Each structure stands twice: as structure tokens, then as C-alpha cells.
């Protein structure tokens, strides 16, 4: 049953400060950027939020700044902006890859990094890469700005640390990953336009024949996007050679099983997700030898 659009309001303040002021005076306002999530809900007659705040046109939010140690991506940057950005492709290839397989070209032209994060879908495409890279978020309200590690942003299913009067301003991602090997894979119904059943983005550094650092971000394995910390702990500092590989894989699979809590839904089953996630982690570990 379609919604009656006359029941909805939408305002488009000209500047970011004005948008923040409106949010402060009416925390019931729901920000809408590219509309690739909320407009779907509207068409399906299941958008409960009636009063919306358009932030799509705010130039202050649409930027990508390259600094010596980090790249800061404005929440209004689209997937197209991200996948076409040369420094991101060079330094943060997991993010380029994730952006390039999010939805279709038309969705990438509209969908934003901020929406992908704030919408808080456990299956979202960029979070595994942002988690692996250790991104930091900057949140903004009329009364100030605060930053937090992205890993602390998701509090529960579709629950985040974003206050009702705050907007996500940007994500800042460390860019020096020289010496790291990276891995990313999304498993969905088809390559394009499919929401993931399971996705993993991972980085590891091998020093002196051992795993010196390892960072595994995952989607659709818990109620939020999450790092696989138990699996990381099972692997870090372990020697990695062809002869240790079988034991490492066993340890990784065992640890992963303790921390994944996938669900059955229309896209896949919990059993399938857990099995495929273990296969992906194995593929990643094998790639490190």
C-alpha cells in the first residue's frame, strides 16, 4: 500500500548550520540524503517518519579531503564520488571496491557514505571496509562536534550513537597501509544490485613470518556491522607458513564460530551465512601465505 505523500513534510535548509539549528529545535526531523533507503520505504507505505530534512544539497557535507595521514570523506559524498576518487583507490582499495558494488550505477550516483553508515543496516557495503581501516566518525550538532571510533557507533540492531539533534559529518580513515595485504568479498545473489548475504573486508600485515596485525570487518554476521575480534585474536602473532596454515585455518574457523550470530531472513539462512563466512575467512588466511 503506497503512502500518501501529502502526509509528509520535507524541508531543505540552505546551509549546514541552518540544518543543525532545525534539528536542534525539532529532533523529530529525519534527515534524508540520496533517498535510496527512505524513498523505498515511502513507496512501500512503510516510512513512519513524517517530517524530513533534506541534506542532499548541502555542499558542506560533500567532500573528500586527503591529508598526510588520513582521508576524510564527507557524509554527503556519494558512492560514485568514492569509487572515482584516485587517492581512495590508491590507499583504501577496500573502500573503492565496496563503493563500486553497492547497488547499481544509479544508486551509486545518489546514495551517500553517511546514509550507508547511519541507516545502520547490518548488511551495508562500506562498513566492513571502514571497520577494517579503523575509521573515526565526526558527529555534529548545533552545540558542537564530537568524534568517535566507528567501531563504537553501532549500539544494536538499527541503533546508533547518533543523537536526534546530530548529523554525521564525516568519516576519517587512516591511509598508510603500506605492507598490508587486503581482502574483500561480498556474497550476494548476483554481482550487481544485490544486498549482501555475507561480506568480509580484511587487512593483515605479515612480519618475520608471523601475523603482526590483522583486522577483519564483517557484514550480515551480527545485528550490526562488526569487527571479528575473536578471530583476529586467534590469528595475531601466529607464525604463518604452509605448514602452520591448516592449524591457523582451524583456529580461525573455531574462533569465528564463537562470535557470529547471523540470522535467517529473506536473503539467506543463518547456517549458510555462518558457513560462507568461515569459507571467506579461510580464503583470506590462505591469501596471506
Partner 1 sequence: MTEVTFTVNGRQQTIDAPPMKRLLDVLREDLHLTGAKEGCGEGECGSCSVLMNGELVNSCLIPILQADGATITTIEGLSPEATAPLHPIQQCFLEHGGAQCGICTPGMILATHHLLQKHPHPTLAQIQEGLAGNLCRCTGYMRIFEAVQRAANAEPFVPAT
Catalog residues that contact partner 1 under the rule CB under 8 A: 5-6, 8-12, 32, 34-36, 39-40, 42-44, 52, 54, 56-57, 80, 103-107, 109-110, 191-193
Nearer to partner 1, 34 or 122 (CB): 34
Can you tell me whether residue 56 is helix, strand or coil?
coil
Q: What's the CA angle centered on 282, arms 227 and 237, to 5 degrees?
A: 65
Nearest distance in Å: CB 60, partner 1: 17
Nearer to partner 1, 36 or 70 (CB): 36
Q: What is the largest CA-CA distance in the chain?
A: 67
Nearest distance in Å: CB 41, partner 1: 9
Q: How far apart are CA 125 and CA 107, in angstroms?
A: 13
Nearer to partner 1, 189 or 229 (CB): 189
Nearest distance in Å: CB 105, partner 1: 6
Tell me which H or E stretch contains 271: helix 270-286
For residues 280 and 200, is the Cβ–Cβ distance under 8 A?
yes
Nearest distance in Å: CB 37, partner 1: 9
Nearest distance in Å: CB 100, partner 1: 8
Cell 505523500 found at = 5
Can you tell me whether residue 225 is helix, strand or coil?
coil
Nearer to partner 1, 80 or 96 (CB): 80
Q: How far apart are CA 267 and CA 257, in angstroms?
A: 20
Nearer to partner 1, 49 or 138 (CB): 49
Residue 240 phi/psi, 5° resolution?
-125, 110
Amino acid at each position: 500500500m503506497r503512502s500518501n505523500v501529502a502526509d509528509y513534510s520535507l524541508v531543505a535548509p540552505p546551509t549546514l548550520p541552518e540544518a543543525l539549528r532545525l534539528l536542534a529545535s525539532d529532533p523529530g526531523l529525519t534527515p534524508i540524503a540520496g533517498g535510496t533507503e527512505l524513498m523505498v520505504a515511502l513507496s512501500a507505505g512503510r516510512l513512519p517518519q513524517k517530517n524530513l530534512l533534506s541534506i542532499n544539497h548541502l555542499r558542506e557535507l560533500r567532500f573528500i579531503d586527503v591529508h598526510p595521514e588520513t582521508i576524510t570523506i564527507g557524509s554527503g559524498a556519494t558512492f560514485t564520488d568514492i569509487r572515482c576518487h584516485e587517492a581512495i583507490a590508491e590507499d583504501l582499495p577496500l573502500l573503492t571496491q565496496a563503493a563500486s558494488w553497492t547497488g547499481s550505477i544509479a544508486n551509486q550516483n545518489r546514495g551517500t557514505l553517511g546514509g550507508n553508515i547511519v541507516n545502520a543496516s547490518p548488511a551495508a557495503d562500506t562498513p566492513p571496509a571502514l571497520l577494517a581501516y579503523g575509521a573515526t566518525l565526526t558527529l555534529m550538532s548545533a552545540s558542537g562536534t564530537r568524534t568517535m571510533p566507528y567501531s563504537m557507533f553501532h549500539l544494536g540492531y538499527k541503533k546508533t550513537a547518533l543523537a536526534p539533534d546530530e548529523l554525521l559529518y564525516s568519516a576519517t580513515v587512516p591511509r598508510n597501509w603500506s605492507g598490508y595485504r587486503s581482502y574483500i568479498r561480498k556474497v550476494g545473489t548476483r554481482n550487481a544490485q544485490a544486498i549482501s548475504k555475507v561480506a568480509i573486508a580484511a587487512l593483515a600485515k605479515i612480519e618475520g613470518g608471523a601475523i603482526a596485525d590483522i583486522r577483519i570487518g564483517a557484514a550480515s554476521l551480527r545485528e550490526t556491522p562488526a569487527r571479528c575480534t575473536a578471530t583476529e585474536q586467534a590469528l595475531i602473532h601466529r607464525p604463518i607458513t604452509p605448514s602452520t596454515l591448516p592449524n591457523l585455518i582451524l583456529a580461525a574457523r573455531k574462533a569465528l564460530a564463537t562470535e557470529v550470530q547471523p540470522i535467517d531472513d529473506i536473503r539467506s539462512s543463518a547456517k549458510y551465512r555462518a558457513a560462507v563466512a568461515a569459507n571467506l575467512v579461510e580464503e583470506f588466511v590462505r591469501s596471506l601465505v
